[in-house]
Structures are given as C-alpha cells and as structure tokens.
Amino acid sequence: MERRKVRGHYEELASEYDEHWVYGSHYVPWMAGQITEALELGPSDRIADVGSGTGLFAREVADQLQPCSPILCIDPSEAMLSQLGTQPPAGLMAIVASAEDIAEGRTRLPYEQLDAMWLKESVHHVADPERTLRGLADRLALGGRMLVVMLPTTIQYPLFKAALARFEELQPDPAVIEGYLRSAGLEASVRFVEHELRISRDKYLGMVRARYMSLLSTFSDSEIEEGIDEMKVAHPENELVFPDRFAFVLARRRGQST
Ligand SMILES: C[S@@+](CC[C@H](N)C(=O)[O-])C[C@H]1O[C@@H](n2cnc3c(N)ncnc32)[C@H](O)[C@@H]1O
C-alpha cells in the first residue's frame, strides 16, 4: 500500500481504532503481558513502541510496568497518536515520526540509546524493512532487545476469500524479518503465540466494513459489501471464534548493558 494511502487509512480509523480491540476481550492485557515478558522489560529500561498507533498496548505495558522514564510512542500518524490525548498519560510520551525517521536519525529521541523497543503490526508498513531495522538496531544499547510482533504469512480470520488471498500476497514472512535482524548484527529467533478471539458476528462485520485492517482498504465499497455477504453465508453463528496467532521475532544486541 502506498504511504499516502496508509496515512489516509489510519486518519480515518483513528477515532474508533481502540474500540475494535477493547470490546469484551482480554486481548490487550494479554498482548501487553506477552510483550513485557518477551522483552524482559524492567522499570528502569528506556523503551520505545515504534508504530504505536493509539498507544493502546504501550499504555497497558506502562500500567503493568510503571517505568521510570516514559515509553516513547512513535507513529507517523498524528491522528492515531492524538488518541493518547493532549496530555499523554503518565508513563507515555508521543513522538510523531516514522520508523524510517528514527532509523535514519531524522528524528532524535530523548534517550541516547534504547534498552528495548517493539514494533507491533507496523513492520509491514515500512518501505525498506532491511535498512530500517538495521537503523533501529543501531539505536539499541548493548544487551538491548527488539521485538517485532506480526501476523504470520497465513491467518485463520473469518474474512472473505479475496481478503485472505490478498493478505497472503502482502504479508512479509517473519523468517525474512528474522534474517534482517541477524544481518543487522543481532541474535534473533522467532516463536509463535496464540490467543483465542471471541467476537460477535455483527461487531466483526462492522469492523470489516470500517476496514479495521489496512489490507481491507485495498477493496472498494462494493467489494467489501460482497465480501460481507460471503462472510454471512459462511458464518451463520452469532459469535465468531478464531485463533489470533502472532509471530514474535525477538532480537538482542550482544553485550552487557551498563
Ligand atoms: C495496524 S496499526 C498498529 C498500531 C499499534 N502498534 C497496535 O498494535 O495497535 C499500524 C500502525 O503503523 C503506523 N505506521 C505506518 N507507517 C509507518 C512507518 N513507516 N513507521 C512506523 N509506523 C508506521 C500506522 O500509522 C499505524 O498506527
């Protein structure tokens, strides 16, 4: 998806983004706990969430961790970041910048180096992930950790067939991301974590209509409506239950932090 279209997509989605995830689900605290554990976060770490969106997950991590220095919520979409409020909550700091801006040093961070950073479902928006991840890796202190949370190359969401097929065309492979992190000089590994999503069918159809995934922005209004009709036939049940599976690509810069 072109950069301009990506930005437009998130401008439109920003005000309702969080609603898609908070409704009757333990998903946000669960995911925040997984991120905290994988990155071995401690309160004294200098932390960034790159492509943080509305800060939904950073907020939960900050609540759980009570960090000494604010978690940097970095995102190129002002509309998404503005959901943090004009006065971001304690433990968070908003920075309008892309991953590339940080990687290339165009935007300076308040911390000289980072002990931990994560990119959750934002790496697919980065134009040249190899170069950008290398630049981000250079921002890590010795012993610093980076976590890329991304969907696998195939998903079992109850979407219409054309959407699933397009997802498979567009989604980067976590193994390739792992390779980029290794060639950036980090130790890297991939594992998968899974969470069962239960969601009312009507709510999910509404999310598809609102194009809750950026991939759905590649379909016209009439294609979305046709897709929704297809989903209604394939899923007559009132509640949709499906696995949300994520790749956790975890990398570490060798050496001991000082
Ligand atoms: C699917 S949302 C994920 C937001 C958040 N990480 C979450 O999981 O709720 C993708 C986010 O990536 C941001 N984004 C788009 N292009 C980006 C880039 N080049 N660098 C960093 N973030 C980007 C979008 O503005 C959007 O907020």
- Mutation pick for ligand 1 pocket among 47, 60, 125 (CB with most ligand atoms within 8 Å): 125
* CATH no. for 3-198+243-252: 3.40.50.150
Question: What was the pLDDT predicted at 7?
Answer: 73
Q: How far is the CA of 66 from the centre of ligand 1 (A)?
A: 24
Question: What was the pLDDT predicted at 11?
Answer: 78
Question: What was the pLDDT predicted at 222?
Answer: 97
The answer to whether the CB of 122 is under 6 A from ligand 1 is yes
How many other C-beta atoms lie within 10 A of the C-beta of residue 69?
Answer: 15
Residue nearest to atom 1 of ligand 1 (CA): 121
**13 token code pair:** 């989605």
- Across the strands, what pairs with 74? 50, 95
Contacts of 55 (CB under 8 A, 6+ apart): 49, 73, 81, 83, 84, 88, 92, 94
**19 token code pair:** 């609603």
**pLDDT, tens digit (0-9, with 9 covering 90-100), for 175-204:** 999 999 999 999 999 999 999 888 999 999
Q: Which parts of the chain sit beneath pLDDT 70?
A: 1-4, 20-25, 257-258
Question: What was the pLDDT predicted at 20?
Answer: 66
The answer to whether the CB of 81 is under 6 A from ligand 1 is no
Name the residue ranges covered by the structural domains of the chain. Answer: 3-198+243-252
Q: How far is the CA of 6 from the centre of ligand 1 (A)?
A: 9
Question: What was the pLDDT predicted at 18?
Answer: 72
The answer to whether the CB of 53 is under 6 A from ligand 1 is yes
Question: What was the pLDDT predicted at 255?
Answer: 85
Question: What was the pLDDT predicted at 74?
Answer: 98
